[in-house]
Amino acid sequence: MVQKKKAYRRKAALLLWAVAAAMLLQLMVPAKLDAVTLRELGERISKLSSEEEVLLEDIIASEAEVRIKQEQIQSHNADLQVFEEQLSDLYRKREELEASITERQSLLVDRMVHTYKYGNDEVTKFILSARNLNEVVNNLYLYRNIMQRDAQLIEGYRHDKEQYNRISRQSEEKKSEIEDLKQQIIIEEEQLQRSIARNKMLLEQVKSERTEVQSLLAEIKSRIAAIQPPGLNLIGEWEMVATAYYSGGGPLCGDGITAIGLRVRHGIVAVDPRVIPLGTRLYIPGYGEALAADTGGAIKGNKIDLAFESLAECYRFGRRRIRVYLVED
């Protein structure tokens, strides 16, 4: 049992050492910087330029498509004008058909009335009125022709009615089809116009943002040029609230050992590792070169503590807003 406990303790100790080593390695290896670096600003400007180019291409393409839609609308307007003329001609033909149908209908009514009144007696009288066989044959032939004309009259009426219905239906369907197509194109054109307006607004925002980034890049370059220390290449900048702390230990420094095991001295600064990774080389105007090597419970976000060799320097520096510059390794 004792040996098992010792084995568990050894495993726990090894595990703790492994975790500590991993944490130390993570602190010693700089993470991706979230600074305002010259490279990042240049990449941002390049990205905004690409976005501007894409938006311009979209706007040009949309405007070209709008012109195509407008040409289609003009073409359909021309088609509608031609079709209106065709409809006028069809309406005229329809009126003629209506007149023909009315006439044929009247004739058929007369025929039906005559047939109802006289019926077979009239036919019999007509045949018996013949004086000889030849006249009987002739009368029968004449009556057959009358019956055929009646049948033709009925067939003609039916044909005219069908043609009338077909022309009316096709005319209205064609007109409705063109009107629907025209309305669809108008809707598509309105959508394109809204897309163009939205893209133009985005384009103005991108242009404005790019101008701001270019101005910021120029300002940082100007500030770096004004403070450029010999032998260092400054490539980025943070704006921070700085507080002094004493390298000699005590209430202003704790035990005098940094988070990565270095002794606190001038040039050691405490940072929030989420903003400036530990191990990052820095330059601070009026302070000099520095190394991000310590942390603190109150150091969150854009805050930094600068180590000084004397309490007098700490009190003299106090708390102030400064710019911290990233040094290229």
Q: Is the dihedral of CA 68, 72, 78, 81 positive or negative?
A: negative
Q: Of 65-74, 129-138, 145-154, 186-195, give the lowest mean pLDDT range.
A: 129-138
Which secondary structure element, helix H or strand E, spans residue 298, and what is its range?
A: none
Tokens representing 19?
């975790």
Is the domain of 191 the same as that of 309? Answer: no
Measuring CA to CA, which residue among 187, 214, 216 is closest to residue 36? 216
pLDDT at 234: 94
Is the domain of 177 the same as that of 238? Answer: no
pTM: 0.54
Gap between the Cα atoms of 278 and 303, Å rounded? 14
CA distances from 323 to 85, 106, 124, 216 (A): 79, 105, 127, 14
Is the domain of 85 the same as that of 180? Answer: yes
Residues 6+ apart with CB under 8 A from 265: 247, 307, 309
Is the domain of 149 the same as that of 256? Answer: no
Q: Classify residue 10: in a domain, yes or no.
A: no
323 in helix, strand or coil? strand
Gap between the Cα atoms of 45 and 159, Å rounded? 77
- Average pLDDT taken over every residue of the chain: 77
Tens of pLDDT, residues 15-62: 333 333 333 333 333 333 344 788 888 888 899 989 989 988 888 888
Is the domain of 184 the same as that of 305? Answer: no
Amino acid letter, 211: T
Taking phi first (over 0 means left), then psi (-120 to 50 degrees means alpha), and beta for anything else, what does residue 261 get? left
Is the domain of 192 the same as that of 236? Answer: no
Is the domain of 252 the same as that of 154? Answer: no
pLDDT at 10: 47
Q: Classify residue 298: in a domain, yes or no.
A: yes
Is the domain of 153 the same as that of 59? Answer: yes
Q: What CATH number should be reported for the domain holding residue 73?
A: 1.10.287
pLDDT at 9: 46
Q: Classify residue 32: in a domain, yes or no.
A: no
Choice between 319 and 86, residue whose per-residue pLDDT is larger:
319
Residue 284 has pLDDT above 70, yes or no: yes
Tens of pLDDT, residues 172-218: 787 788 788 778 888 888 888 888 888 889 889 988 988 998 998 99
Residues 6+ apart with CB under 8 A from 277: 30, 31, 33, 292
Q: Classify residue 72: in a domain, yes or no.
A: yes
Query: For the chain, what is the domain count?
Result: 2
Which own/partner pairs from 110-117 qualify as long-range (CB within 8 Å, at least 24 positions apart)? 111/150, 111/153
Percent of the chain past pLDDT 70, that is, above it, reads: 71
Number of H helices, E strands in the chain: 4, 7
Is the domain of 188 the same as that of 236? Answer: no
Choice between 199 and 148, residue whose per-residue pLDDT is larger:
199
Q: Of 5-19, 229-243, 315-329, give the lowest mean pLDDT range.
A: 5-19
Q: Classify residue 319: in a domain, yes or no.
A: yes
Residue 169 has pLDDT above 80, yes or no: no
| Cβ neighbours, 10 Å, residue 143 | 14
Q: Classify residue 301: in a domain, yes or no.
A: yes
Q: Classify residue 115: in a domain, yes or no.
A: yes
| Cβ neighbours, 10 Å, residue 166 | 10
Q: Classify residue 265: in a domain, yes or no.
A: yes
Is the domain of 192 the same as that of 87? Answer: yes
Residue 107: domain span: 44-210
Q: What CATH number should be reported for the domain holding residue 259?
A: 2.40.40.10
9 in helix, strand or coil? helix
Beta strands in 174-302 (DSSP E): 234-246, 268-271, 281-284, 288-294
Choice between 281 and 159, residue whose per-residue pLDDT is larger:
281
Is the domain of 240 the same as that of 313? Answer: yes
Is the domain of 241 the same as that of 271? Answer: yes
